[in-house]
Structure 1
Amino acid sequence: MEGARDRLDKLVHDLKDVCLLLDGVESDQFAMHDVIRDVAITFAHEEHHVFTTRNDVERDWKDRDKLKKCTMISLPSENTIISQLWPNDLDCPNLEYFNMTYIWNFSFKIPEGFFTVMPKLRVLNLVRLQQTSLPSSIHHLKNLQTLCLDKSNIEGVPIIGKLNKLKVLSLRNSYIKEFPTEMGQLTQLRLLDLSNCRNLKVIAPNVISKLSNLEELYLKECPIQWKIEVLEELKLLSNLASVELDIEDNKVIFPDLKVLVLMNIISRKIWDCQLPSSSFENLKELTLRRCTKIKFVFPYTITKNLQQLQYLEIKDCIDLEEIVAIEEITEAAASVVFPEVTFLELENLPELATFYPRIHTLEWPKLKRLEMKSCDKFKIFNSEPNSLCLDHKVIFPNLKVLELKSSLGEIWNKESSTYSYENLTHLTLFECDKIKYVFPLSIAKSLQQLQHLKLTSCKVLEGIVAPEEGTKAVVNFSFPQVTKVNLLFLPEFTDFYPGIHTLEWPKLKELMVRDCPKFKMISSEPNVPCFDQKINHD
């Protein structure tokens, strides 16, 4: 499945490069210009026998010779073409793709013999199908590889078990109550998505283990009454690379697991300290959301196994106090290294106070993006002696993007290492309501790669660089790469630096200031604490 996604991503990228596709609203979407779309639809029909609503019912749809050549059909919900043609005029022996989405019409029902006329069908997509059972003729689709019945009213699915060439099955948001024994016949299945099936309570025993080629399994937001023997079956799936589950039990081992998403876990811990050292050694992505009773994320020994971890996201775990927990036998000065992590996000963790509650060093040599929001006890960059926080031995040599929302009184202090932030390109602070200054002088002078600076709704922020005792000489600041500065809703903000200084922004292209009533952006008065006459920019 990962290879298929890579090929699709490359295809989309190539089409964007030649302007046949455009960027969509979201990062995982794309768009097409109206003119390109019209040409594509015409070409698809003429060269590949694709039928859509653009085709005339009398001229195209009722021409049996044309319909016998048809390879793809795509129809919206309100269309009545199928009802008009069935049963006499719908004969599609070469059809490989059938898509009918958002079938809101409760009166529409797929006829029982509908699928007998399309033996080559490989992809069937019926979103919001209103009927509660599938037509019996679906078992004729011996070549079907993808079946999508998202948001449908289908309740019983045993007949799907006869589609033994199926590779992708999606029943997201459907009304099924049980994943029955018959589904064990789907031995070619690669992806199974049962997410948000609110009535699904039973996974039949000895079914999951038979899906020997399964690579991705999604079962989040399902009220399944898990039995330990069913969970144990997951260990037999040697190809399983991505799984999303809502479960209470934490004793299942996935030696080849690459993506783990845990949501709404109500147990007090996630990991078993007795797990073999090989457990989770291939894990690349870990997401925890709304695990409301856990006090820590990892036991110290588990961190040694996470050498492939690249993505770590922790949100809405309201009792979480630390990321790594002390164990009975732990070195006096612990060393924690996440050599491959590039993305770290911590959000709404009100009790999180420290990464590890003893003396430690912490290295993130490849971390590029750090987002921290509403973690008001967590002093991530502070270096106070013996403080229970990420201390001065935290290393982020490749950090590029930093986004913070915090009620701490300071982010950095003058003892903070400049080495960890010299590659920073984007800094965003939002609602950091106790911070008076963004940087100490030493950090500010190390930000030679900074490009974007955005400060929003920081109630007591007075300046960007903090003054240092004993500094009387003119201080020279240069930000050679900065192109964009946004200062928004900063009621106490007065100046970049409160002392005499020069300031250079040679590449600055956008300066946005809004609702900063005390800010004197440009002044010619000597020695005033503001952006003075010695600002240089292009």
Structure 2
Amino acid sequence: MDSIEMIWDNQVVVESFPKLKSLYVDGCNKLVTVVPSFLLGQLKSPESLKAKACGSLEVIFELQPLIPLDGHPVALPLREPTISGLPNLKCVWDKELHRQVEFQCLRSISVSECNSLTSLFPALIFRDLTQLEELEIRECGIAKLIEKEEGVPVPGFDFPKLTSLQHEHLTELTCLYDRAHTSHWPALKTLRVDGCNKVEILASRFENEIPRHKQPLFLIEKVRPKIICLASMVNI
């Protein structure tokens, strides 16, 4: 649908989509956002979201400052977002979104072929992904996985259920998070890093091992990988 510019009219009646579980957007080249701010409080049931091949898409979940959400944070039951082929995507989650919307049900995330995407998560969203099991990122412009937020100290990240982590052909990737932190990956079984040539330090157990001008891709306190695949990397 090359002419469609928006999916939802801003006059959508409240509770219009109470049972919507799956949303799939493909080949809508004039679409700029998938889920606008005025719809966030109405989506009670979405579990699967796919967005692909939309040339103008810039943000998946939008939160406009002029249309704040009222009351307590909205909890979206989203489990499996798949995002691919979005060359102009700037962010998946609006930078203010995490303060009013929770994504604690996320289990599997796949992002690929998004060259304008420089980071994937605001720090507070990534910190709360305790149910996440799989994370796959391929062929994106990501320089760091987690975007730091001024005035928000994040000393550590805990991923008790994450079993598979794959980074492929992320040519700008240098680190997970560019502030001192620790990470826990007790269930990790598969770690694949392929074609990430700007990563100079793959992993370090102790912060004092790291040169001040460098950051490791993983600063870990607990990890038990059974399969590790490293390819096309330098200075490791």
Equivalent residues, number: 210
Residues 362 and 215 from structure 1, CA distance in 2 versus in 1: closer, same or farther, beyond 3 angstroms?
same
Tell me which residue corresponds to 1:288. Answer: 111
Name the structure where strand makes up a greater proportion of residues: 2
CA–CA separation in structure 1 for the residues paired with 2:157 and 2:104: 15
Q: Which residue of 1 aligns with 2:88?
A: 266
Equivalent residue for 2:19, pick from 213, 219, 223: 213
2:4 to 189, 194, 201: 201
1:326 to 141, 148, 151: 148
- Identify the residue that residue 313 of structure 1 maps to in structure 2: 136
Q: 1:248 — aligned with what?
A: 58
SS in 2 for 1:290: strand
Q: Pairwise mapping of residues 158-173 of structure 1 onto structure 2 (< 5 A)? A: none
Residue type of the alignment partner of 1:394 = I
Conserved in 2, the CA contact under 8 Å of 1:376 and 1:407? yes
Q: 1:288 to 1:305 in 2, by over 3 A?
A: same
Q: Does 1:389 align with 2:200?
A: no
**Alpha-carbon distance in 2 for matches of 1:238, 1:336:** 27
Task: State the match for 2:78 in structure 1.
Answer: 257
**Partner residue, 1:376:** 197
Secondary structure at the residue paired with 1:316? Answer: strand
After superposition, the C-alpha distances for 1:252-280 in whole angstroms (9 at most, x for unaligned) are: 67611111122215243332332336511
How does the TM-score come out when normalised to structure 2? Answer: 0.74
Mapped to 1, the partners of 2:178 and 2:50 lie a distance apart of 30
The equivalent of 1:363 in structure 2 is 184
Deviation at 1:224, TM superposition (A): 5.3
1:367, distance to aligned residue in structure 2 (A): 1.1
Q: Which has the higher helix share?
A: 1
Q: Distance in 1 between matches of 2:48 and 2:75?
A: 10
Secondary structure in 2 aligned to 1:346? strand
Match of 2:203, SS state, is: coil
Kindly report the root-mean-square deviation, in angstroms, between the aligned alpha carbons of the 2 structures.
Answer: 3.1
Alpha-carbon spacing, 1:347–1:286, altered in 2? closer, same or farther (3 Å): same
Could you report, residue by residue, the CA deviation over 1:363-401 in whole angstroms, capped at 9, with x for unpaired residues?
11111111111001212125543331136x414533111
- One-letter amino acid matched to 2:190: R
2:230 aligned residue (394, 398, 404): 404
Q: How far does the alpha carbon of each residue in 1:54-81 deviate from its partner, in whole angstroms, 9 at most, with x for none?
A: xxxxxxxxxxxxxxxxxxxxxxxxxxxx
Residue 352 in structure 1 maps to residue 173 in structure 2: yes
Contact 1:342-1:369 within 8 A present in 2 as well: yes
Query: Does the 8 Å contact 2:18/2:43 carry over to 1?
Result: yes
The residue type equivalent to 2:126 in the other structure is T
Offset of 1:316 from its aligned partner? 0.8
Distance 1:398 1:376 in 2: 24
Q: State TM-score, norm by structure 1.
A: 0.35
Identity rate of aligned residues, in percent? 25
* Partner Cα distance (2:24, 2:145) in 1: 26
Counterpart CA distance in 1 for 2:24 and 2:47 is: 11
Gaps of 5+ in 2: 64-73
Mapped to 1, the partners of 2:152 and 2:30 lie a distance apart of 38
Structure 1 unaligned residues grouped into runs of 5+? 1-176, 178-198, 411-538
CA displacement at 1:314 relative to structure 2: 0.9
The separation in 1 between residues aligned to 2:31 and 2:91, in whole angstroms, is 20
Structure 2 Cα separation of the partners of residues 305 and 372 of structure 1: 23
> 1:347 Cα deviation (Å)?
0.7
SS in 1 for 2:120: strand
Closer, same or farther: CA 222–235 of 1 in aligned 2, 3 Å: farther
Higher RCO (C-alpha under 8 Å, 6+ residues apart): 2
The residue type equivalent to 2:217 in the other structure is L
Task: From the CA coordinates, give the structure whose radius of gyration is larger.
Answer: 1
> 2-side partners of 1:310 and 1:283: how far apart?
8
Q: Against the structure 1 CA distance between its residues 213 and 270, is the aligned structure 2 distance closer, same or farther, given a 3 Å change threshold?
A: closer
